[in-house]
């Protein structure tokens, strides 16, 4: 059972990918929704709003505890920001989950009008992955034990880190759920299967 954090953001797109892959899933809005999960997806959206809603709804600390205890997680765009240990260019009251030892810069690629697409070489996937960047972050610092999986190949942001993994946690600054290519989700599901973890509340 895969949870999709559903306090705000692009939940439906991830649901459609998991439906296509034949994977059971449920939306996570309350603490009890964490029970029985084998993994969780943190979707794109507005990261400061998401962190505030997690805190107001009493889900922030239980989610941190679940990740600390070994719940596999995959974050896209705002989900990457939430999973980070440090966030630049955010509001002072924004909270993060600290599941990845990375520093991310929020809205690093610019505003909505600066959104773009690129084909990325992605470590562990045998051919380029189409990537959609929408007000996306990038990773400015990678801690020990964090593997860089993809960087921007060309243009003004050439070399920017946009996909990372550490242990059971995967994050991309782009939106593979918007491209019709499910291979990044399949990578996450393989991580979930390998972990063999079921969370108990």
Could you tell me the domains of the chain?
A: 2-195 (3.40.50.880)
Express each pLDDT in 157-196 by its tens digit. 889 999 999 999 999 999 999 999 999 999 999 999 999 9
DSSP-based three-state secondary structure for 87 = strand
- Of 8-17, 103-112, 123-132, where does mean pLDDT reach its minimum? 103-112
Express each pLDDT in 12-67 by its tens digit. 999 999 999 999 999 999 999 999 999 999 999 999 999 999 999 999 999 999 99
**Cβ proximity of 82 and 50 under 8 Å:** yes
Helical residues (DSSP H) of the chain, grouped into ranges: 11-21, 47-56, 60-68, 78-83, 183-195
Phi, psi of 152 (to 5 degrees): -70, 130
Cα distance from N-terminal residue to C-terminal residue, the chain: 14
For every residue of 7-27, DSSP letters joined together read SSS-HHHHHHHHHHHT--EEE
Phi, psi of 28 (to 5 degrees): -115, 110
pLDDT at 158: 86
Nearest Cα residue to 37 out of 10, 18, 51? 18
pLDDT at 147: 98
Are β-strands 39-42 and 2-5 bridged in parallel, bridged antiparallel, or unpaired?
Answer: parallel
Binding-site positions = 45-47, 106, 134-135
**Cβ proximity of 138 and 161 under 8 Å:** yes
Q: Which residues are catalytic?
A: 77, 175, 177
Q: Which residue has the higher pLDDT, 31 or 93?
A: 31
The residues, ordered by sequence, that sit 6+ positions from 194 with a Cβ below 8 Å of its Cβ are none
**80: number of Cβ within 10 Å:** 30
Burial of 119: CB neighbours in 10 Å, binned 0-12, 13-18, 19+: exposed
Nearest Cα residue to 63 out of 47, 46, 83? 83
The 3-state secondary structure of 56-85 reads HCCCHHHHHHHHHCCCCEEEECHHHHHHEE
What Cα–Cα distance (Å) separates residue 74 from each residue in 46, 85, 123? 16, 15, 16
Binding-site positions for L-glutamine = 45-47, 106, 134-135
């Amino acid at each position: 059972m895969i949870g999709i954090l559903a306090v705000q953001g692009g939940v439906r797109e991830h649901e459609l990918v998991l439906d296509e892959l034949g994977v059971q899933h449920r939306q996570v809005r309350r603490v009890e929704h964490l029970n029985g999960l084998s993994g969780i997806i943190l979707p794109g959206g507005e990261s400061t709003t998401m962190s505030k809603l997690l805190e107001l709804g009493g889900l922030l600390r239980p989610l941190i505890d679940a990740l600390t205890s070994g719940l596999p997680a995959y974050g896209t765009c705002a989900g990457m920001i939430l999973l980070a240990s440090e966030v630049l260019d955010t509001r002072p009251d924004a909270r993060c989950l600290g599941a990845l030892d990375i520093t991310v810069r929020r809205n690093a690629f610019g505003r909505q009008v600066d959104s773009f697409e690129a084909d990325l070489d992605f470590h562990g996937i045998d051919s380029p992955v189409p990537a959609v960047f929408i007000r996306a972050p990038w990773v400015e610092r990678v801690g020990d034990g964090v593997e860089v999986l993809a960087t921007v190949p060309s243009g003004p942001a050439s070399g920017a880190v946009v996909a990372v993994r550490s242990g059971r946690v995967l994050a991309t600054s782009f939106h593979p759920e918007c491209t019709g290519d499910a291979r990044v989700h399949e990578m996450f599901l393989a991580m979930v299967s390998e972990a063999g973890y079921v969370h108990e509340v």
